[in-house]
Structure 1
Amino acid sequence: MSSEPLLQVKDVGIQFGGLKAVSNFNMEIHQGELVGLIGPNGAGKTTSFNLLTGVYSPTEGDIVLNGRRINGLAPFQVTRLGISRTFQNIRLFNELSVLDNVKVAYHSLAKHSVLSSMFRFPSHFSGEKEMEKKAMEFLEIFNLAQYKDEDAKNLAYGKQRRLEIARALAAGPQLLLLDEPAAGMNPQETKDLMELIAFIREKFNLTILLIEHDMNLVMGICERIYVLDHGVLLAEGTPEEIRNNPKVIEAYLGEEVQNEHAKG
């Protein structure tokens, strides 16, 4: 692990009207880490993702990626600098094919120019061929190649989740943000997802930050965990430290334990 963090979040906050959604949020993530961000509903987790990806601009503090301050950059600029994400509610191009969904994301890395595309220069066709080849490689990794010509909307829910992750990876990120990737999945799908996340982390040399409510997944794969509560950082530590933190148990994990007992 390098000494300099890949991502630094320094005293970041955002205010909507009179409401502080996130306040004095600090985080450091180093290259190659797999880090979790947890907390009750409304804790500010997705707002934090929106801040990191340029959807929102912080009203205070700094976000630094690879030593560069990225406050105020547009989402497409943040993506080009190396951050990709998935969403809590799946966002695919439903009317496009599975293959085209990945190609759309990969397009930002294409080497041919707009001019070559307009006039159908040879570089356009070679670029399209390379793009399709790379997109198919992602579909193979995610076991989606057989559905390449299907409309994305026709995929089963779990496969749509996989497609969204594949599309995020096609942009070539250094840091991948996963927003509740196991939402709506059954236990077997969640187990498969855990294995997939571990695999893509290793294969693509990724750094991963994930929001997740499934504590088995979080505790099973994350090396460190940050806990938000009402927009404020409540705790940070290893899974074992978080599991035994009285403040976290009171604010969040106690509720999770009660829910598990209710299910049983």
Structure 2
Amino acid sequence: MANTPLLKVDNVGIQFGGLKAVSGVNAELYQGELIGLIGPNGAGKTTFFNLLTGVYVPTEGQILFGGEKLNGLAPYQITRKGISRTFQNIRLFGDLSVLDNVKVAYHSLAKHSILSSILRLPSHFSGEKEMEEKAVEFLKIFNLDGLKYEMAKNLPYGQQRRLEIARALAAHPKLLLLDEPAAGMNPQETKELMDLIAFIRKEFNLTILLIEHDMPLVMGVCERIYVLDHGQLIAQGSPEDIRNNPKVIEAYLGEEVS
């Protein structure tokens, strides 16, 4: 693990009117780590993801990625720097094919120009061919290549989740943010997801930050865990540390632990 963090969150917070949704959060993620972010409903986890990806701009603190400040950058700029995400509620293009959903991500990295596409130049066709070949390779990894011409909205829920992760990976991120990927999955699908997360981390040499309410999943795959409650960081450490932390138990159970 490198000595310099890939992602450094320094005293970050955001205020909406008089409400501090996230306040004074510090965190560091290193290359190749798989880190969990947990907390009760309304703790500020998805807001934190929105800060990292440029959906919201911090009102305090700074976010550094690879040593570069992200504050104020647009989401597409942050994606190009190497941060990609999935969403708590699946956001696929339902009326596009499985293949086209993945190709959308490749278009953000396309080498051919918009002008070449308008004029239908050879570089446009060669670029489109290359993107399609790469997209199919990704679909094979996720066992979705046999469904590449199926409309995304027609896929079963578990396969839609896999497609969303495939699309996020197609942007070639260094850091992948997964927002409750196991939501709505049955136990078998969750087990397969755990295996998939471990595989893609190793296969793509990724750093992964995972929001999840499924505690067996978090405890089973994450090396370190951060815990938010009411927008503040209340604990961090190994799964064993978090499992036995009185502040964490109190946050989830709503009562003080003696």
- Shorter-chain TM-score: which interval? over 0.9
- Say whether residues 1:75 and 2:75 are aligned partners: yes
- In the TM superposition, 1:109-128 aligns within 5 A as 109-128=109-128
CA distance in 2, matches of 1:212, 1:110: 32
Q: Which residue of 1 aligns with 2:251?
A: 251
- Say whether residues 1:215 and 2:223 are aligned partners: no
- Say whether residues 1:5 and 2:31 are aligned partners: no
CA distance in 2, matches of 1:13, 1:113: 38
- In the TM superposition, 1:1-264 aligns within 5 A as 1-252=1-252
Look up the equivalent residue of 1:234 and give its one-letter code: I
Give SS of 2:192's match: helix
What's the offset of the Cα at 1:118? 1.1
CA distance in 1, matches of 2:87, 2:74: 17
Cα shift readout 1:23-67 (whole Å, capped 9, x = no counterpart): 000000000000000000000000000000000000000000000
- Give the count of matched residue pairs: 255
CA distance in 2, matches of 1:110, 1:201: 24
Q: Which residue of 2 aligns with 1:260?
A: none
CA distance in 2, matches of 1:253, 1:9: 28
What's the offset of the Cα at 1:109? 1.3
**Identity over aligned residues, as a percent?**
79
CA distance in 1, matches of 2:231, 2:69: 22
CA distance in 2, matches of 1:199, 1:75: 27
Cα shift readout 1:193-219 (whole Å, capped 9, x = no counterpart): 000000000110100000000000000
- State the 4+ residue runs in structure 1 displaced beyond 2 angstroms: none
What's the offset of the Cα at 1:222? 0.2
Q: 1:238 to 1:253 in 2, by over 3 A?
A: farther
Cα shift readout 1:146-168 (whole Å, capped 9, x = no counterpart): 11001110000000000000000
TM-score of the superposition, structure 2-length normalised? 0.97
Look up the equivalent residue of 2:110 and give its one-letter code: A
CA distance in 2, matches of 1:143, 1:17: 46
Look up the equivalent residue of 2:180 and give its one-letter code: E
Q: Answer yes or no: is the 8 Å Cα contact 1:243–1:253 preserved in 2.
A: no
CA distance in 1, matches of 2:112, 2:242: 48
CA distance in 2, matches of 1:22, 1:110: 35
CA distance in 2, matches of 1:48, 1:247: 20
Give SS of 1:109's match: coil
Give SS of 1:47's match: helix
CA distance in 2, matches of 1:171, 1:219: 28
Look up the equivalent residue of 2:121 and give its one-letter code: F
Q: Which runs of 5 or more residues in structure 2 are unaligned? A: none
What's the offset of the Cα at 1:131? 0.0
Cα shift readout 1:76-130 (whole Å, capped 9, x = no counterpart): 0000000000000000101100000000011111111111111111111110010
What's the offset of the Cα at 1:137? 0.7
Give SS of 2:138's match: helix
What's the offset of the Cα at 1:253? 6.5
Q: 1:143 to 1:230 in 2, by over 3 A?
A: same
Look up the equivalent residue of 1:152 and give its one-letter code: A
What's the offset of the Cα at 1:254? 7.8
Q: 1:253 to 1:240 in 2, by over 3 A?
A: farther
Q: 1:81 to 1:4 in 2, by over 3 A?
A: same
**Residue range with higher mean Cα deviation, 107-116 or 132-141:** 107-116
CA distance in 1, matches of 2:121, 2:138: 27
What's the offset of the Cα at 1:252? 1.8
